[in-house]
Amino acid sequence: MAKKIILNEKDLPTKWFNLIPHLPGPLPPPLHPGTRQPAGPDDLAAIFPMNLIEQEMCPDSWVPIPEELLKVYSIWRPTPLVRADRLEQFLGTPAKIFYKNEMVSPPGSHKPNTAVAQAYFNKVAGVKRLTTETGAGQWGSALSFATHIFGLGCRVYMVKCSFYQKPYRKSLMRLWGGEVFPSPTDMTNAGRQILAKDPDTPGSLGMAISEAVEEAATNSDCNYSLGSVLNHVCLHQSIIGLETQKQFESIGLKPDVVIGCAGGGSNFAGLAFPFVKEKIDGRDIKIIAVEPAACPTMTKGPYRYDFGDTAGTTPLMKMHTLGHDFVPAGIHAGGLRYHGMAPLVSAGIKHNLIEPQAKHQLECFEASVTFARTEGFVPAPETSHAIRAAIVEALECKKTGQEKVIVFNFSGHGHFDMSAYDDFFDGKLHDYDYPKEKIDAALASVPQVE
Ligand SMILES: Cc1ncc(COP(=O)(O)O)c(C=O)c1O
């Protein structure tokens, strides 16, 4: 079997896949933050263009990908599906391990799959610039790249601790024309209020979202763009899983285990949702979403309505949540430090279609080092969670002798995260559990809706 299963550009999927109509029950709607009634398209129009709002609420299984966007996707797509045979040999497992290599995009992760789509649809709607938040900087660099392609401005509120931990991501954003600020800033009301309470806060994605949403809502030429969580983001990312299905078909295999790390849920959703549909249709398949034990949204957070941001300005979404004012420990997987989980992924967990798991940072870094020493590529700290789960599955196969086919999403490279690897080698990294008392405290501020 070839090491890399490569599709031709003409095999690029021409439609995105939408899981919403296939779920066993209706997806609970977003609620207006003030009235707590289901939010309609007009409630979202202050910060999103109508074409993306339609995708957010889309009842159809398939959404066509515009020709102009397919041309942009062809810069890095289709991405390779790679057999990790050197990792298999190292582990001594009879399992076949594959990874879908999303690090080959210009910014180095899966994030531009939705960034270019969001920039395109905003451009078509006449919007001039976008604001956003970023954790580790992968999303901010992806949106800077995308807005540059479509001639839009871009302002990024970057979580303060990551701004200083990952200085070169900031350079990358500036390279593509994005403006970057350490959040919370004193440029927005939300930022000023947070700083007044806690001037030394390390920041969080929830805070940065509040700032970006405020700027978009108060400027008519400006919209907000979210890199994860929302239905239309999962929709755009489905191109990952659709390509993977074609790639497995071309070698006559079907995966038994599908794995992705999950921060807001988008790369996991992208790989997994086409396979979730296979599972709904009756195929026996294990689908695992992996989060950090330090931010255990899916494994310890309840499934209930909460805000997407710290200031409580976004619509309420029904999702697994640790509470919107939760501030996670400064683990290096900055992109996994979000208090909520995509409503679609949360619904998949509720319907027993998706199995959530939590892994500690040290075991994940060990897995990344093993991967880099066998397969060569350096994973992002976020990606290491998926690798760890894949290794655990493969070692289980070693015990049982099962020859399972395992696929995980290689969501991004770690070339800008080398200080995290240095900290790991120098013994400076620690595992964090998120204690129950803290979860209970953070959940106290979650609104009582049901
Ligand atoms: C490389 C990488 N993987 C995974 C994630 C997690 O995000 P999501 O759960 O939306 O895929 C991020 C987020 O920044 C990331 O940069």
In a domain, 256, yes or no: yes
In a domain, 303, yes or no: yes
In a domain, 397, yes or no: yes
CATH number at residue 397: 3.40.50.1100
- The whole-number pLDDT of residue 349 equals 98
Q: Pick from 114, 295, 336, 387 the residue to mutate for probing ligand 1's pocket: most ligand atoms within 8 Å of its CB.
A: 336
Taken as a whole, the chain contains a residue count of: 450
Q: Is 112 in the pocket of ligand 1 (CB under 6 A)?
A: no
Q: Pick from 104, 236, 237, 261 the residue to mutate for probing ligand 1's pocket: most ligand atoms within 8 Å of its CB.
A: 261
Residue in the structure block whose two tokens are 């992968």 = 138
Q: Is 139 in the pocket of ligand 1 (CB under 6 A)?
A: yes
Q: Examine the pLDDT at 97 and tell me if it is beyond 90.
A: yes
In a domain, 50, yes or no: no
- The whole-number pLDDT of residue 78 equals 98
- Domain extent for 257: 66-108+238-443
Cα–Cα distance for residue pair 361/152, rounded to 1 Å: 37
Q: Pick from 99, 109, 415 the residue to mutate for probing ligand 1's pocket: most ligand atoms within 8 Å of its CB.
A: 109
89-98, 199-208, 215-224: segment of lowest average pLDDT: 199-208
CA-102 nearest atom, ligand 1: 1
- The whole-number pLDDT of residue 337 equals 80
In a domain, 88, yes or no: yes
For ligand 1, atom 4, the nearest C-alpha belongs to 382
Cα–Cα nearest to 133, from 345, 338, 344, 296: 338
Average pLDDT in the 213-226 region? 96
Helix boundaries (H) for 189-334:
189-197, 205-217, 231-250, 266-280, 297-300
How many Å lie between the centroid of ligand 1 and the Cα of residue 357?
16
Cα–Cα nearest to 286, from 271, 297, 273, 276: 276
pLDDT band at 332 (very low <50, low <70, confident <90, very high): confident
Domain count across the chain? 1
Residue 245: what residue type?
A: Q
Cα–Cα distance for residue pair 423/238, rounded to 1 Å: 34
In a domain, 298, yes or no: yes
Cα–Cα distance for residue pair 121/5, rounded to 1 Å: 31
Query: What does the mean pLDDT of the chain come to?
Result: 95
CA distances from 415 to 106, 172, 231, 418 (A): 12, 12, 29, 6
